[in-house]
Amino acid sequence: MAVQSKEKLAMLNDIMERVSVKIEPSLRAWFSNAPAVVEETTHFIKKLGGAPVYILAFQFKPDYENTADMINLSIGAALENMLLAARDKGLGTCWLTAPVEAEGGNELRDLFAPGKGPLVALL
């Protein structure tokens, strides 16, 4: 799902603000010797780099008969193709799993894709 309206971008940024707070302790543990990395990463997560468009990748439906691993491999391949196509057009991109790791994926799904499966990633 592509998100690009100012209203929806603001809603998503509000969620990502909470995600950055939730993930910060893990970042501090992982990068204990690099506090600047923690600060840059949490700032990026809060504002998503100021991107004009976000792409949310959800599993199509929670009861799909293939395993989650197979579904996620397919989604990963599709996302990688999007990243390569964007690069080919001179666009910067970033693949984020922070909302999934910080348990913000359900909130994003409920807001943007009710009835779909879990959030896999955000571009």
Note the pLDDT tens digit of each residue in 82-115. Answer: 999 999 999 999 998 888 887 777 888 888 888 8
Q: How far apart are CA 24 and CA 30, in angstroms?
A: 10
Calculate ∠ Cα 10-51-30, nearest 5°: 95
Question: pTM, whole model, 2 decimals?
Answer: 0.83
Report pLDDT digits (tens) over 4-63: 999 999 999 999 899 999 999 999 999 999 999 999 999 999 888 889 999 999 887 666
The count of other CB atoms within 10 Å of the CB of residue 105 is 22
Q: Where are the domains of the chain?
A: 2-122
| Residue partners of 112: CB distance under 8 A and separation at least 6 | 1, 3, 8, 12, 56
What does the alpha-carbon distance between residue 72 and residue 89 come to, in Å, rounded to a whole number? 26
